[in-house]
Structure 1
Amino acid sequence: MDIDALKNRRRRVVGMRETLKKIAQGTVLCVYIAQDAEARVIEEIVNQSTTRNIPIEYVGSMDELGRLCGIEVGAACAALLPEQRSFA
């Protein structure tokens, strides 16, 4: 999947709540999970992604995932969203 797209704020959400919300809406292309995230935090994300056949990519650490998302703090998970079309 396109890890570079995680830096685009319009193409990603970061964090457990936002990721679960987008999974429920059916708008997630791929979920990224930090390998050092607490199991209790990511358990529901893994379950929902697996149930809905959403690919899961594991990233080395929460700090690394935060950097990939262009934020200054670590992130347990993030989700890649489809490109939004602008109608002009």
Structure 2
Amino acid sequence: MEPEKRVVGVKQSRKAIREGRARRVFLAGDADPALTRPIAAECAAAGIPVETERTMAQLGRACGISVGASVAVELTD
């Protein structure tokens, strides 16, 4: 994912979803469901596709950060 086309983390991701800037959401399959379940519900209500195939470590690497990430959002253009 290109840095300028994504946000990482629960707070920034939820903000992007609420503002209608999210194209696709990535939820780490091994993240705490208490964090990811509400985001998945918001995405379902907004019709935003969700992918859950990656682990936190894989998602963090894909986003170019050195720690795991539970949520990342690909932003619209």
Pairwise TM-score range, normalised by the shorter structure: over 0.9
Letter in 1 for 2:7: V
Asked if residue 68 in structure 1 is aligned to residue 59 in structure 2, the reply is no
Task: Give, as a single letter, the amino acid of the residue that structure 1 aligns with 2:49.
Answer: P
Q: State the Cα distance separating 1:45 from its structure 2 match.
A: 0.6
Give 1:22's aligned residue.
Answer: 16
Which residue in 2 is equivalent to 1:86? none
Structure index of larger Rg: 1
Residue identity matched to 2:70:
A
Residues 28-75 of structure 1, C-alpha deviations (whole Å, 9 max, x = no match) = 000001000000011111010000000001133100000000110000
The corresponding residue for 1:57 is 51
Name the TM-score, length of structure 2 as normaliser.
Answer: 0.95
Unaligned runs of 5+ in 1: 1-5, 84-88
User: What is the RMSD of the two structures over their aligned residues, measured on CA atoms?
Assistant: 0.8
Residue type of the partner of 2:59?
Answer: L
CA distance in 1 between partners of 2:76 and 2:35 (Å): 24
Aligned residues: 77
Preserved contact between residue 32 and residue 78 of structure 1 (Cα < 8 Å): yes
Flag as ranges the 4+ runs of structure 1 deviating above 6 A: none
User: Which structure ranks higher in relative contact order (CA pairs < 8 Å, sequence separation ≥ 6)?
Assistant: 2
- Listed as ranges, the gaps of 5+ residues in structure 2 are none
Q: Which amino acid aligns with 1:30?
A: R
